[in-house]
A and B are shown apart, each in its own frame.
Chain A
Amino acid sequence: MKRVRPMLLALLIFTLTLPLMAAEQPQEIMKKVMEVQSSNSSALELLLTLTDAGGQARERQLQTLSLTEEGRTSSITVFLSPASVKNTRFLSVENSTGKSEQWIYLPALKRVKRIAANEEGGSFMGSDFSYSDMASTTYDATEATHTLLEETATTYTIRSVPFDKSSYGKTETTVDKSTYLPLQVDFYAKDGLTLEKQLVTQKMEQMQGRWVPKVLTMTTVASGHTTRLEILQAQYDIAMNSNYFTTKFLETGRP
């Protein structure tokens, strides 16, 4: 079943699994990466630092939980800062058809609103990450052709050409052989030639026995704008109150 992963967890998985298709070897690598990274539940606390070309920085901090039950994944994201968006909450629930339903709670209006799923190129919170960057299923084995471009003693470099080029024409990913984490992902425009964005893993760390990219930086090449994503906390396969994934929690902030 095609899963819509929670946005930021999905980003991590996406970056792990992007490039490893086409030939048999990349497929095997991807399978291993998926096995290592998959979990029934996860909790991430993230800090996004948006820096423009002039060096002015803005921060967004958020927590996101995801839970997969009976093959359906739900996620809830709470924005902690800046103060202007504090307590904004975002809920995504996968329905029986595999599509996600999404709601947002706007504290200034004290109102829960069902919203259209934004799964394309729109910027996530003004960052260099688009909503499509957060969707892990975009580039699975059935949605892109993958070619091994280079293999060194420590890395694979793989080109991925998605069948649906609504977001990118191609990506090129360098994967660390020892951890199966991406060290760098180059995102090309729809023409497949223009380098649009670049994602670099700046720091990897073992959290609860698994390797995760602790710090990532996405750069938009044309503007020089960057977004640094740091995982402040991560927990996997933990017991989680399913009441978090309800419109009641969205409205009240209480499970």
Chain B
Amino acid sequence: MKRILPLLLAISLLATNLFAFSGFDDIFAPTTSLDESAKPTVSGSGSVGADVGVFLDDLHFSEQLLRLNLLVDSQSFKSEAALSYDALDQSLQVSTASVTYFFDWGQIEAGLLKEEWGSADGLHVVDVLNAFDYSKGFSDDLASMKRSEFMVGTTLYKGSSSLQLYFKPTFTPGLSAMEGRWSLLPQTLTLTIKEPPKTDSWEYAQFALRGRTSIGGVDLGLLYYRGHMAQPGAVLTMTGMTTADMDIVYTPYQLFGTEATYLLGQFTFMAEGGYLLSKDRPGSDPTLYNSKWVYLGGVSYLEPTSNLYLALMYNGHFVEHYDKVEPNALDVDQAQAFDNKAYGNTLTLAMEVPLFRERVKVRLGATYQIETEGYALLPSIGWQVSDTLLLECKAVVYGSLGSKSSVFKTWEGNDSLTIGMTHYF
């Protein structure tokens, strides 16, 4: 991973013979009233920021992050990198780092990328290109929870339609904590994880395809993905009353999905759906996930005077052959089920209120899982102190209306508050 940055910088330097896109340069002359009377051959911009967070139960730090985003942009090439340094883990992470080459009818990009599939606002059921990292709970910025992955992608445009092709030579699975306050494992069980599969091999190469078009005011997309499910399956071997060995396995599957949006006045209607065809089609292997249906429907509203934004979304899933799950077989579908049901239904609310001429933005994200009665609240407020300085305060609250076990119930003691600052340059 560390080799990617020098490579990016080298490619960026190679692009210096090209002129930058900093507006419609073929039409406008450099403006003397701007502080760029001599436009650079390559433009750079970015942001630097820091986040400090605490858990509310014991005021221990939950987060100490330094963030740096860089963009080098020219007419034919663009290179971007987002880095973060975690002071708690003392680790430098490359969130994304990519190079894009543009040509007349499309683009090719390569690098550590995070891509977003699906038509809904933020929350998706067909967004499968990147796995999620749940090792530090939830964030209102879902993109920040994604694990970037090396991929090569191309987008081809024709009129209002486009076709995206992605190839991922390796597989980066989902991540969750195995110990500590974010662990979802029973605390009474001590697991010994055997050597995990080497997913950085051709055996785990993935392929994805997405076509989008507009038909009569409806934006429509068709999706196909062939790879492995991000959440791991497992073979558990009990070695004692409270100890077990765990072999991790990943379920090969294909996604056949669709996405659509339709605008009606100030309302936007969103829909996503997909069928995940598992390698375990009969649902007989307890270590692999069964095939399942996923679906999402939602509506958002933009109030034209105040620019108040509201969105309400429903998403659900239905696991096939769940009736074949044997309770004592330690089936992964059962382990992932909501209240031991084949289906799951979740409601999500999102709201944003701009105030004081967009200097202040108040946001709220809330999700409620119907079967387990678990919920999460993610309120935040952002203050644009100046054109280059943003202060944000975010909170995350987990809870449950009942006693049923769920991720929200497990994380009840992990409520946190984070204060962040971002300087744009």
Interface residues of A (CB under 8 A from B): 43, 45, 47, 50, 52, 58-59, 61, 63, 65, 78, 80-84, 86, 101, 109-111, 114-116, 118-123, 125-127, 131, 225, 230, 232-233, 235, 238, 240-241, 244, 246-248, 251-254
Contact = CB atoms under 8 A, between A and B. Distances in A.
A41 to B, nearest CB: 10
B382 to A, nearest CB: 10
23 contacts: A43-B24, A43-B28, A47-B33, A61-B34, A65-B24, A78-B23, A82-B388, A84-B390, A114-B268, A116-B267, A121-B305, A122-B307, A123-B357, A125-B358, A126-B359, A225-B357, A235-B27, A240-B27, A252-B107, A253-B73, A254-B21, A254-B102, A254-B107
Contact of B75 (A59, A61, A254): A254
B118 to A, nearest CB: 10
Contact of B31 (A45, A115, A246, A247): A45
B116 interface: yes
Interface in B325-379: 354, 357-359
Contacts of B307: 118, 122-123
B240 interface: no
Interface in B143-182: 143, 155, 157, 159-160, 162
B263 A83 contact: no
A82 B357 contact: no
B: interface residue count bin: 35 or more
A111 B261 CA distance: 14
Contacts of B26: 241
A248 B261 CA distance: 18
B204 to A, nearest CB: 25
A123 B24 contact: no
Nearest to A118: B304
Contacts of A43: 24, 27-28
A182 to B, nearest CB: 24
Contact of A116 (B159, B217, B268): B268
B387 interface: yes
Interface string B90-133: 00000000000010000100000000100000000000000000
B243 interface: no
B387 A82 contact: yes
A109 B116 contact: yes
B386 interface: yes
B265 interface: yes
Contact of B304 (A86, A110, A122): A122
Interface of B: 21-24, 26-29, 31, 33-34, 45, 47, 73, 75, 102, 107, 116, 143, 155, 157, 159-160, 162, 217, 219, 261, 263, 265-268, 302-307, 354, 357-359, 384, 386-388, 390, 424-425
A83 B425 contact: yes
Contact of B22 (A80, A84, A125, A126): A80
A47 B387 CA distance: 14
Given A45-B23, A114-B263, A125-B358, A59 B160 contact: no
Given A43-B28, A65-B24, A252-B102, 4 more contacts: A45-B28, A114-B219, A115-B268, A254-B75
A118 B424 CA distance: 28
B157 A248 contact: yes
Instruction: Name the residue in B22, B307, B357 with the highest tally of chain A Cβ atoms < 10 Å from its Cβ.
Output: B357
B303 to A, nearest CB: 8
Contacts of B265: 116
B209 to A, nearest CB: 18
Nearest to A230: B33
Name, among A63, A84, A118, the residue most crowded by chain B CB atoms within 10 Å (CB to CB): A84
* A-B pairs, 4 with minimum CB distance: A82-B387, A83-B424, A126-B357, A126-B358
A121 B305 CA distance: 5
A109 B143 contact: yes
B102 A233 contact: no
A63 B387 CA distance: 18
Contacts of B303: 122
A134 B267 CA distance: 22
Contacts of B116: 109-111
Given A50-B357, A82-B388, A114-B219, A233 B29 contact: yes
A233 B29 CA distance: 8
A110 B307 CA distance: 21
A110 B34 CA distance: 26
A251 B73 CA distance: 14
Contacts of B23: 45, 63, 78, 80
A230 to B, nearest CB: 8
Contacts of A254: 21, 75, 102, 107
A253 B303 CA distance: 29
